Structure 1
Amino acid sequence: MKAYLSQSKAEIKLAFRQVDLLALTIGIPALILVGFSLIKVLPLPAGVTKPVTFLVPGTLALAVMGTGMIGQSIGTAVDRNYGVLKRLGATPLGRSGLMAAKITMIVVVEVFQVVLLFVVGALLGWSPKGNLAEFFLLALLATVSFTGLGLLMAGLIRYEIMTGLSSVLWFILTLISGMIFPLSKLPSWLATFSKLLPPAATSTGFYHTLGVGGSIGTSVWVSLIIWAVVAPVAAALTFKWE
């Protein structure tokens, strides 16, 4: 427990010092929310009249994905390349302790993200319509899923190409996962494929718990629960200290 708490504190301090990752995980979602709420150029789901109704849950999903998957894939690869993980491997922390510390850090960052985007959304005329308890449960499942995927990527992909590959993946998933562009506007085959992945499940769940209300759908819960189990297990199996 002592090793976990110590590593959690270190992870949190480091997270708020990395300006480039903060720009990706907080700055860009906030800019997208403000920009596309004021400049009405994006298509909206059926029945939605205000862009902010769609964009608040979408940018929150984008922020969670950026922090959990993209941030951890790059950050962990950098730590391994510079020998940080090797030194941690000699401590009592262990793989599960490191993963728990990273998830703790991500939750802290996400609390800041949620507060910021909620405030910005409210200033733009947004108000939540849905079940906030379900939103926080979805956010927790998404966090575990994305963190597991980020660590899995860090275990499988070479450091030299990690930043470029993660950035491309972030851009593609942003476009096809219902975060700033509705899934209903995508080709049916692409929308069907996207719904199998955690980014689309997260954005769909957030849309119903924060945007328009209504039933989330069993498929969203099933998808996120499966990914929240499979991704961390796969990450643990492929994790390397050096």
Structure 2
Amino acid sequence: MKPTQSGAATGAAEASDRQEAATLLRRVLLQGKYEALTMLRNGEQLILAVVLPLLALVGLTVTPFLDGMGASRIDVAVPGILALCAMSTAFTGQGIATGFDRRYGVLRFLSTTPLGRGGLIAGKALSVLAVLCLQVAVVSAVAFALGWQPPVAGWVPGLALLALGAAAFTALGLLVAGTVRPEATLAITNLLWILLGALGGIVIPAERLPAAAQGLVGFLPSGALGEALRDAFLAGAVNGGAALILLLWTLVAGAAAIRWFKWN
């Protein structure tokens, strides 16, 4: 009797199913999950992403530095703290992580896998958004407890501009991480975090900065994001000029990162 092919065919089909590659979307989601969990498990990154912004929020709320801004201290402080969260995660955190991944050959290895370079970058962007959502939830909870009263109309433009700001800072972080040595990336991103956080218009409104800096900070991604979020969460308005500046930073830094990024 001639042997049937059903068993062999079934086994071959099962083997094919087991060996079938995951879809690009699934690969990106898994990479994003891995990147986000790695950032949250790192104590230094967690301090930078959550603890320091919360300390700044409380500090600005209990001191008179933001008095005379036409709103309560907490209402003025929260938009800047949310912008600081975006810069912490998208620029400093992602820049440092990417720089050291590049140093140890992780980027070169992953870029040759089915994930690919595009999938790797998409996963990193997804991880930034995931961590940023957690930051927004934590900061908002503390802010509400301290008396924050944002207009309902400000949430949609505020969150959209926050995402745009995160995109701009992610592009800048990848540009730095992909063009200089990891040790230099660590120094540059931390130094810029301090300078932009203190003097870049992100936490402290431009009008409270020295006169020489007021005309400049509005063109920085930090100043544009801080101003855009204050307009959204204080008045429920969309600052079109600030949004345009953030978009230009995203496009220019993104194009530069694509052009000069070194994978090894």
Please tell me whether residue 82 in structure 1 is matched to residue 82 in structure 2.
no
Indicate the structure whose relative CO is greater, using CA pairs within 8 Å and at least 6 residues apart. Answer: 1
Does 2:40 match 1:16? yes
1:195 to 218, 225, 229: 218
Indicate whether 1:208 and 2:246 are aligned. Answer: no
Of 242, 246, 263, the residue aligned with 1:220 is 242
**TM-score (structure 2 length as normaliser):** 0.85
Is the aligned partner of 1:72 residue 2:83?
Answer: no
Deviation at 1:3, TM superposition (A): 2.9
The worse-fitting range, judged by mean Cα deviation, of 212-221 and 224-233 is: 212-221
Aligned counterpart for 1:135 among listed residues 144, 150, 158: 158
Cα shift at 1:133 = 0.9
RMSD: 1.6
Shift of 1:72: 1.3
**Is residue 110 from structure 1 mapped to residue 132 from structure 2 by the alignment?**
yes
Q: Is the 8 A contact 1:44 1:182 kept in 2?
A: no
Partner of 2:19: none
The structure 2 residue matched to 1:6, chosen from 24, 30, 33, is 30
Paired residue for 1:181? 204
Aligned counterpart, 1:166: 189
Are residue 154 (structure 1) and residue 177 (structure 2) matched?
A: yes
Alignment-derived partner of residue 124 in structure 1: 146
Q: Which AA in structure 2 matches 1:176?
A: L
Distance 1:45 1:62, change over 3 A: farther
- List runs of 5+ in structure 2 lacking aligned partners: 1-23
Question: 1:33 — aligned with what?
Answer: 57
Q: Which runs of 5+ in 1 are unaligned?
A: none
Counting matched residue pairs gives 239
Q: Percent identity at matched positions?
A: 34
Kept in 2, the 8 Å contact 1:45–1:184? The answer is no
How many Å apart are 1:238 and its aligned residue?
Answer: 1.6
Q: Distance in 2 between matches of 1:42 and 1:202?
A: 20
The 2-side partners of 1:18 and 1:206 are apart by 28
